[in-house]
Each structure stands twice: as C-alpha cells, then as structure tokens.
Amino acid sequence: MQVEPMIRKIVDQLAIDCGKFFDELADLNEQLQHDEQVEDSKKSVGLSKQLFYRQLNKYGVLLDEDEITLINQVFRLKS
C-alpha cells in the first residue's frame, strides 16, 4: 500500500474544507505543543496523532486500520 493514494483520499474527502482543516489543525496543534511545553520542556515537537485523526473524523474523513498504520509509519506523528 502506498501513502500517496491515502493523501489524495484525505484531500478529496476534505474537498472545500481542506484549507480550513489544515488551518484549524495547525492552530490546535500549536496550542497543544504550548501546553505540553509548559508541563515538560523536554517533550518532542510534532503533530499529535490523536489530534490529527480526531480532526479528520470531524471533517468526515474515515481511514481504515491499514491506512492509519501506513500514515503512522510514513509520517512521524507523536502519541
């Protein structure tokens, strides 16, 4: 399984809301990182897996377990 078709699937399912999705995801992730840095200054910076998949679901993008596993392997999402 390749990651490019999954990225296309995500973008296609986001359709008109794609820009809004990524803006909202970036804002929420920035706030999450800020909150974590306040708690522990040694935590790694990155995109939260839970936040990413929660936002995808909010925008109606559903991925199966194989797709989620591949995305987790290709992109370094943090727990």
pTM: 0.68
Domain boundaries, the chain: 3-74
pLDDT value of residue 24: 92
Helices 65-74/3-14 angle, 10° precision: 110
pLDDT single digits (tens) 9-41: 888 888 778 888 889 999 998 998 888 776 665
pLDDT single digits (tens) 40-72: 655 556 778 889 999 999 988 989 999 988 888
